[in-house]
A and B are shown apart, each in its own frame.
Chain A
């Protein structure tokens, strides 16, 4: 009989229960959309922040980067510094560290000086878009093309399989009167002929690169006489914002306790990624570019905090709206409840009847709302980030719990009121 009554209520009180289901669906879709976006927004914004460029520099031990900033003239005696190189063959290892999945892109660089248009110019060799087969069986596409998305490029990005294709910086191109498609004859510093480069693009970066030429790594290795070697590698990694533990570890990983060390090592802090790269490439030193790493952390944290707060707001709103509606609609049914009580129904069975009815309705609405919410999240993801938002497994149980609590909480005041009702009063038209 209990289920018959439930069934009767569900099928025959359509409009009222539909309204509840509808509101629950709305609330749940809002909650789902917000939760899904919230869980994923960190990753998405992190990806976006990659446009700020590499957050790790991998250098040979001992090499420092003097004279790079603002196109300073070479400091006297620079050449006397011990200069080592990294082996190009080792670079694939960067994708084999514990946090390999978080390494978004990396590109090696090798610089050498040449003469172009009667003036010394820095020629930079790099991977434009390199396909790597790792020993682990994974395949990776990486290179500068992906890391310098903020460059203004007229023409097309260079390609690794065009051995003499080169990209020329805007200020150099202006001085030499070059444009995409031109041929640029180059020679060594002592005047030996090095053939000519095909200019495939002119780029504007706003930095020192505007005065340089970028060419495939192989070509530059040949010109510089450093086969199989690179000078430095820029790595772009998805990282977790730094905290105290990470800062202490960055100072000295040895100062951590065993447990702290494990936590640190297994979290994608920039310092632990750097440490892991150093581990896997013994001759290398990985330096976090704090300008990028710190700012990323700050912005990520703000965005995530913001989204969490907005999510809490929308959760609170949908909870209030749902429970409000449930209360209002249960209150309406005073007469029916009075009748049931007059017929000798126990308080418990009446309460149970109402709760089961509301819960069934709420869950029907909730399931619908969940999928609509996922849809909303996808729309947001597609429009904003141009990528699908990953549905987090956490969202579903959270939403289910929410619906359960909210529906119960919403029924409570009504149930309390109903328990106080005297059947006679209700039936006598009050």
Chain B
């Protein structure tokens, strides 16, 4: 019996190797199917996460404010930030608001960390340079227009700190910030400069936090922060969170549906391709039947052939699918795709299943036909 098994394997190999062009056609079909399957599913899995990162360009989705009347302590804020998951936290930007005067007119000076601003509020449009050195500052577009301030100018400002002690300082404007929002009416300076100017250290009024997480997660974090750092209150920026959830939900659904449609159609295509390839071999099936092969044995041979084709095609397809997913992710999000490795064997298994199913249907039809009809050789 061992000899027979090895002959069957040999026959299989011959069928696969010596009918190269047909097998190539079948393999191509299966590989396309597997590539689409793995590529689309991987993307489907990964894109919502990637998109969620994109949505961070809308800026902070959570703010920390003091729960009391006085300004909050930066150390507390740093403590609160530790409760945010490492990978999801995009950034935390503290803001300190101080009323100041220049040329006898009132303005609001805001002390902040510009590096953090670039992360949490990527929509800021700065013409000129971001402040880098001591006593450099940005001025809002509205003020710049109203008071005719251009980059390079030095402003003398004065005001009183929270203890009503007077201070004065000279700041150099390096750029004009424009957001279309309230920022257009502020003067922004580096937090250390403001601390030195007002002689008050480690204080902020608001800390904006940008974190790629859903509403539920953020609410949990907010609750934890409230209990752990009672001096702070974490508030969700509802507009950003809700809209993100809505849009992301739709996008996700769109992707799932598109994937489903593509998958169903591709699988049917694989099946039809396999069917044509098998239908060609009706005569061979008839011959084998005439030689006395039982239906079961013929089915077994084609089954084995289908499994091999499915495996090889599935493997090639899986590789192409991953490359494709990688390409899409790289060109759309500039990031590499996160591959769920269990999807690879799953994709191969599905392509084997589809291939075998697509083989067996026409084979069953072929063996049902009397060999005489096939062999008469129309």
Contacts and interface: CB of A to CB of B under 8 A. Distances in A.
A112 B182 CA distance: 19
A295 B246 CA distance: 15
B328 A306 contact: yes
Please indicate which of the listed interface residues A52, A65, A328 has the most CB atoms of chain B within 10 Å of its own CB: A328
B262 A314 contact: yes
Contact of B54 (A150, A302, A384, A385): A302
A132 B257 CA distance: 39
Given A150-B238, A150-B239, A320-B28, A22 B272 contact: yes
Interface string A202-232: 0011110000000000000000000000000
B184 A52 contact: no
A272 interface: no
Interface in B232-252: 235-243, 246-247, 250-251
Interface string B266-310: 101110110111011000000000000000000000000000000
Contacts of A45: 247, 250-251
Nearest to B265: A30
A165 interface: no
Given A290-B179, A298-B54, A306-B328, A30 B261 contact: yes
Nearest to B97: A72
Contacts of B179: 289-291
B108 A324 contact: no
A292 B236 CA distance: 18
Please indicate which of the listed interface residues B21, B184, B258, B277 has the most CB atoms of chain A within 10 Å of its own CB: B258
Contacts of B273: 23, 321, 324-325, 328
A384 B250 contact: yes
A29 B265 contact: yes
B47 interface: yes
Given A64-B184, A66-B182, A380 B261 contact: yes
Contacts of A324: 25, 28-29, 273
B261 A309 contact: no
Given A51-B247, A206-B239, A289-B180, A72 B123 contact: no
B167 interface: no
Nearest to A301: B332
A422 to B, nearest CB: 18
B250 A385 contact: yes
A23 B270 CA distance: 10
A292 B332 CA distance: 20
Please indicate which of the listed interface residues A204, A317, A324 has the most CB atoms of chain B within 10 Å of its own CB: A324
Contact of A317 (B36, B107, B206, B253): B36
A317 B266 contact: yes
Interface in A373-388: 376, 379-380, 383-385
Contacts of B265: 26-27, 29-30, 314, 318
Contacts of B57: 294-295, 298-299
Contact of B185 (A30, A66, A152, A379): A66
Contacts of A289: 179-181
A309 B331 contact: yes
Contacts of A41: 254
A293 interface: yes
B205 to A, nearest CB: 7
Contacts of A29: 265
Contacts of B105: 77
Interface in A51-76: 51-53, 57, 62, 64-70, 72, 75-76
A313 B146 contact: no
A12 to B, nearest CB: 12
Interface string A28-41: 01100110010001
Please indicate which of the listed interface residues B29, B125, B206, B272 has the most CB atoms of chain A within 10 Å of its own CB: B272
A150 B58 CA distance: 15
Interface in A284-326: 287-295, 298-299, 302-303, 305-307, 309-310, 313-314, 317-318, 320-322, 324-325
B106 A305 contact: no
Nearest to A69: B182
B158 interface: no
Contact of B276 (A307, A314, A325): A325
B324 A313 contact: yes
Interface string B95-110: 0010100000111100
Given A251-B127, A291-B59, A23 B181 contact: no
Interface string A387-428: 000000000000000000000000000000000000000000
A19 B182 contact: no
Interface string B49-77: 00100110111000101000000000000
Given A290-B179, A299-B247, A329-B276, A70 B268 contact: no
Contacts of A383: 253, 257
B236 A33 contact: no
A138 interface: no
Contacts of A305: 331-332
A359 B144 CA distance: 67
B238 A207 contact: yes
A351 interface: no
B332 A309 contact: yes
A49 B243 contact: yes
Given A290-B124, A317-B269, A299 B239 contact: no
Interface in B4-36: 21-22, 25, 28-29, 32, 35-36
A331 B242 CA distance: 57
B178 interface: yes
A335 to B, nearest CB: 9
A328 B250 contact: no
A78 interface: yes
A361 interface: no
A-B CB proximity, top 7 nearest: A206-B238, A321-B269, A69-B182, A294-B123, A289-B180, A51-B243, A150-B242
Given A51-B242, A62-B146, A325-B272, 5 more contacts: A295-B59, A299-B247, A321-B29, A384-B254, A384-B257
Interface of B: 21-22, 25, 28-29, 32, 35-36, 39-40, 43, 47, 51, 54-55, 57-59, 63, 65, 97, 99, 105-108, 121-125, 127, 142-143, 146, 178-185, 205-206, 235-243, 246-247, 250-251, 253-254, 257-258, 261-262, 265-266, 268-270, 272-273, 275-277, 279-280, 324, 327-328, 331-333, 377
